[in-house]
Amino acid sequence: MAVAVSGLSKTFGTTRALVDVHLSVGWGETLAVLGHNGAGKSTLLRVIASLVRPDAGTVAVGGFERAKDAAAARSIVGYVAHQPLLYDDLTAAENLAFFARLYGVRDARARIAEVLDDLGASAWADRRVRGLSNGMQKRVAIARALLHRPSVLLLDEPETGLDVDGLAMLDRLVRTVTDGGAAVVMTTHGMERGLSLADRIAVLAEGRVALSGRTAEVTPADVRAMLTRQYQVAP
């Protein structure tokens, strides 16, 4: 399994962000995680990325257990967060060069040119991130996450800030990554995008997995009904 999550729970103060979550994603698969704001989607990704320590449960990425071998797990994970996680006063290329050094990317210059080209961001390579639009920053952020050829790509609402071309590029990218054998876990509010891109889907409600299965077995009506029920339950 590329990602195996078992019995995962996490509480922030009195808020139960994740409650006994069990999920798995195979190599070459995409898992779309849906749910309303505060359902626990981002926390789930942050735990898988080893940014947040769970209160209970286990997470294994590429066979590396987060608790035992976090550095090995991190080395095969690429993570795109809500924020671009880039330095404003460095250029796009300088940002990527910095992260290439942290990840020990070989032949970094060629790899940076390659990912910027893949993301349609080559023209901005020498512009400081501060001067880039949100959409441009998002593309560079995705380039940063892909730089070290991760085996597991975590995308937290990646469509935010992207225009129509950017969304098409994102869809192509997810398919290219999974075609190459890597796994993708993405959170999204776009049910249609999630169902069309993913092999598996999970709906989170108040930190629990309310619905999960293969997208071939789950209809949009099932997902819509689950999300609607959450709205009705919410005060």
Minimum distance of another protein from residue 110's CB (angstroms): 19
If one asks whether residue 49 binds another protein (CB under 8 A), the answer comes out as yes
Q: Determine the interface stretch with another protein among 23-31, 102-110, 157-165, 185-193 (rule: CB under 8 A).
A: 102-110
Region of residue 76 (phi > 0: left; psi between -120 and 50: alpha; otherwise: beta): alpha
The first and second tokens of residue 98, run together, are 């910095």
Region binding another protein by CB under 8 A among candidate stretches 45-53, 162-170, 210-218, 223-231: 45-53
Work out whether 175 is an interface residue with another protein (CB under 8 A).
no
Measured from the CB atom, is 27 or 98 closer to another protein? 98
Q: Which of 52, 67, 167, 191 binds another protein (CB under 8 A)?
A: 52
Helix axes 134-146, 92-103, angle to 10 degrees: 20
Largest CA distance in the chain: 54
Residue type for position 56: A
207 is a contact residue toward another protein (CB under 8 A): no
Residue 95, Cβ neighbours under 10 Å: how many?
26
Residue 174 CB, nearest distance to another protein (Å)? 19
Min separation Cβ 73 and another protein, Å: 8
Six token digits for residue 49: 């990325």
- Euclidean distance between CA atoms 39 and 176, whole angstroms: 29
Residues 55-94 that bind another protein (CB under 8 A): 71-72, 74-75, 77, 79, 81-90, 94
3-state SS assignment for residue 12: strand
Name which position in 23, 32, 34, 103 contacts another protein (CB under 8 A).
Answer: 103
The single residue listed with the structure tokens 């995705």 is 142
H runs (alpha helix) in the chain: 41-48, 70-75, 92-103, 108-118, 134-146, 164-179, 191-197, 220-233
Total binding residues for another protein by CB under 8 A? 30
Please report, as ranges, the residues that interact with another protein according to CB under 8 A: 46, 49-53, 71-72, 74-75, 77, 79, 81-90, 94, 98-99, 101-104, 144
